[in-house]
Structure 1
Amino acid sequence: MSALALVVLVLDLVSKNWAEDALMDVESRPLLGDLLQLRLIYNSGAAWGMGEGITPVITCVQILICVAAILFVVRGVRSRIWVVALGLIIGGALGNIHDRLLREPAPFRGEVVDFLQLPHWPIFNIADIGVTTGAILIVLLGVLGTAPDPSAAGAEPADGAAEHEEPSA
């Protein structure tokens, strides 16, 4: 989990630094024709720019969610696919938390660097891709019934008293 989270975090930070250097004076630049454009913006809100006036609250909530995800992984996740999903989420969350803590205008009020734009979709970054992909994966795992700890999924109650069905007559 930590390796994947670190990869997502590094890719996010490097790509944001590149975007600030390469796109500062550019309105929009095609990357994949009209499908994917490069356009630099600074987002002080949460997803899709919502909550612009409460950036410190958003920052604190993101930190709490990230800490909770790390504790969940350490304490109870034994499934590799769950580790992948949570690694994507944690790496992406850390990338955006970094921006909120260390970028202008001030700690806990920093603006997130976004630079990838699809048609009819808000501008986003690599961290957002990690968080979204991890969240979609977790929803799929839930729908498929894949437990975070496969060994505990079929475990009997702690007191050893398993419920047994009575045979029908």
Structure 2
Amino acid sequence: MAVIILVVAAIDQATKAIMLAWLEPGVPVPVIGDWLRFLLLFNPGAAFSMGENSTWLFTTIQLTFVTGVAIAAPRIRYRWQALGLALIAGGALGNLLDRLFREPGFWFGHVVDFISVGGFAVFNIADSAITVGVVVFVIAMFVDERRKVDA
């Protein structure tokens, strides 16, 4: 799990560094017309920029989650649950690093977002990992519950 968490966070931070060097904030760069484009934004809130005045709360939640997964990891028995939690924790760690070390300052930093799909929210690799991780974890929970019922 630790390897997955660190790889996800590293890929997230590397892609953010590339986009920060390449893109101008707020200037879209089409990849597939208007459907997929790169658009550099700095998000103080959560998904869809909700909670813009609660950056400290999201930082605290992400730190707590990553720490909790690290503590619980040795007791997680099911591979797919572990994968889901590792993807979520890796994404949380990627965004946590932004909140800790980016402007406007420690604990209140804004998350770098740059992937824009259609009229949907602008997001990053960490957000994608969190979303995929939640789907994997929920499916794993249902499959594992089904195994218990069938046993």
Same fold (TM over 0.5): yes
Task: Write 1 or 2 for the structure with the bigger share of helix.
Answer: 2
Query: CA–CA distance in 2 between the matches of 1:125 and 1:3?
Result: 20
* Residue correspondence of structure 1 range 6-85 to structure 2 within 5 A: 6-24=6-24, 27-74=27-74, 76-85=75-84
Structure 1 gaps of 5+ residues are 155-169
Query: CA–CA distance in 2 between the matches of 1:135 and 1:80?
Result: 14
Please say if residues 40 and 114 of structure 2, whose CA atoms lie closer than 8 Å, have aligned partners that are also in contact. Answer: yes
The residue type equivalent to 1:20 in the other structure is L
Structure 2 gaps of 5+ residues are none
Q: Compute the TM-score of the two structures, normalised by the length of structure 2.
A: 0.90
User: Following TM superposition, by how much is the alpha carbon of 1:15 offset from its aligned partner in structure 2, in angstroms?
Assistant: 0.4
Q: Helix, strand or coil for the counterpart of 1:115?
A: strand
- Report how many aligned residue pairs link the two structures: 149
Query: CA–CA distance in 1 between the matches of 2:72 and 2:77?
Result: 10
* Residue correspondence of structure 1 range 15-164 to structure 2 within 5 A: 15-24=15-24, 27-74=27-74, 76-145=75-144
User: Following TM superposition, by how much is the alpha carbon of 1:36 offset from its aligned partner in structure 2, in angstroms?
Assistant: 1.4
What per-residue deviation string (whole Å, max 9, x for no partner) do you get for residues 48-71 of structure 1?
Answer: 111111111211111112211222
* Gap change, CA 1:81 and 1:16, over 3 Å in 2: same
Q: Compute the TM-score of the two structures, normalised by the length of structure 1.
A: 0.81
User: Following TM superposition, by how much is the alpha carbon of 1:146 offset from its aligned partner in structure 2, in angstroms?
Assistant: 5.2
User: Following TM superposition, by how much is the alpha carbon of 1:32 offset from its aligned partner in structure 2, in angstroms?
Assistant: 2.8
The residue type equivalent to 2:11 in the other structure is L
Q: Which moved more, 1:62-71 or 1:108-117?
A: 62-71
* % same residue: 35
Larger radius of gyration: 1
Aligned Cα root-mean-square deviation (Å): 1.9
